[in-house]
Structure 1
């Protein structure tokens, strides 16, 4: 749904002798509704879906856990991390979008806003990479496997070191 404005307002322009670019051509009247549409479809609805789904998962795991166990606390950490990471990664993009709308193109802040837009766009897309890392790194199985791996590495180093010393002597 977020691409509908792209189809409506995308225009091909000549950018040189043999180069063409696709640029968004918004009118003053269409820019605000398009940005509001993108905020609703691209942030508000996904944020609410993520929040509700993760709260349902948390409540289900909390009911299944016996009192005093730390599993529900770990689940809560994952839920908070995923929801907060979505919010912190995506809200700057929409803030900058609205700032661009309110800043005149001839303003000295305009080039800075366009640079900020590139940076916050990267941050928003980085959220897709961040989510799997949060699930893996905050999960108990990851910590257990990391501990086993580190112990195995240290054991390997110790064995290699002892073997070299015995060969040296």
Structure 2
């Protein structure tokens, strides 16, 4: 069986069977350091992602009437939550020194979810940016056509598009046993050989970079510039707290994901310039961890920047505390009401306990 092409996306094959044998102890120390950093960032992303995105979903569905704005944030939180639920699998993979112990289906599903999260997040951020521009600049049009029902329709289109773009990951992701380890990697070769694998690899990275980064970045940049010009030249249009939150979310996404896409382009340049291998080996684990960390950043930004979210959280926790104290008080009162004097007959005690 021919060995698969290098897979820098998960960097497992290269770390295990790359140049570490040639660079000695320093290389292995470097590898262990990258493993530790990855596990720490994945663990932080998992804990904060579960708590933060769970709170966002709870607040938007239970504590507030759904509006167009909250629908975008709800779907963004769902995408991030689904992704962080799979992070323990990646943590286990790193801790086992990149030995995949979950089977080929989970290998495909885990990578599929991560890519789908990337596409859905950037598409929802693009929709958020476009919607913000329309609702602030074209107020009359947005009041007539910007409805909750249409927002849900747009969300459905985004999810279908994100799933469709992620299908190649599910198709090409595979497992193989090498040197007594099972590796989860992108098997672009199939039966056609290295040339076909190279073409598939370049095509997938090109689509991912264009649709998942360049086009959304261009759309968001254009609308943000137009909105900024309109705000500074108008005494009517003013940025709300929500609009500032959206700006922070968009900035955080591109700061987290831009290095990953840069390294992806460097990855396919390996076919021409193999000397980039050392840079990729050192950098790809870090930029991948940074990209994954984005899934827990958004809820933090909601709390830090969004005044309404802070007020809603404060009010919700106060209500929850009051409810807990009220139930505790009722429980104590009920216990006191059925307490029995020490000299009461045994039969009366039994009757009271049954009641």
TM-score grouping bracket, smaller chain normalisation:
0.5 to 0.7
Q: Secondary structure at the match of 2:239?
A: helix
Name the counterpart of 2:213.
Answer: 43
Q: Matches of 1:118 and 1:143 in 2, distance apart?
A: 38
1:8 has 2:171 as partner: yes
Paired residue for 1:99?
Answer: 266
| 1:85 CA drift (Å) | 1.1
RMSD of aligned C-alpha atoms?
3.7
Q: Which runs of 5+ in 1 are unaligned?
A: 147-169
Deviations 1:98-153 (A, max 9, x none): 0111135883431321331211111111111111111111022538989xxxxxxx
Aligned residue for 2:274, secondary structure, equals: coil
For 2:218 and 2:298, locate their aligned partners in 1 and report how far apart those are by CA, in whole Å: 16
Superposed CA deviations along residues 84-106 of structure 1, whole A, max 9, x for unmatched, are 11122112111110011113588
How far, CA to CA, are the matches of 1:72 and 1:105 in structure 2?
Answer: 47
Taking a change above 3 Å as real, the CA distance of residues 145 and 116 of structure 1, as seen in their structure-2 partners, is: same
Q: Counterpart in 1 of 2:184? A: 22
Q: Does 1:133 align with 2:300?
A: yes
Q: Which runs of 4+ in 1 moved over 4 A?
A: 44-49, 143-146
Corresponding residue pairs, total: 133
Q: Is the 8 A contact 1:10 1:24 kept in 2?
A: yes
Q: Select 1:116's aligned residue among 283, 289, 292.
A: 283
- Structure 2: distance between partners of 1:81 and 1:4: 30
Q: Which residue is 2:202 aligned to?
A: 32
User: 1:43: Cα distance to partner?
Assistant: 3.3
1:46-65 alignment, distance < 5 Å: 51=220
Distance 1:23 1:105, change over 3 A: farther
- Give the structure-2-normalised TM-score: 0.31
Higher radius of gyration, 1 or 2: 2
1:109 aligned counterpart, secondary structure: helix
Q: Taking CA–CA contacts closer than 8 Å with sequence separation of 6 or more, which of the two structures ends up with the larger relative contact order?
A: 2
Q: What is the aligned partner in structure 2 of residue 89 from structure 1?
A: 256
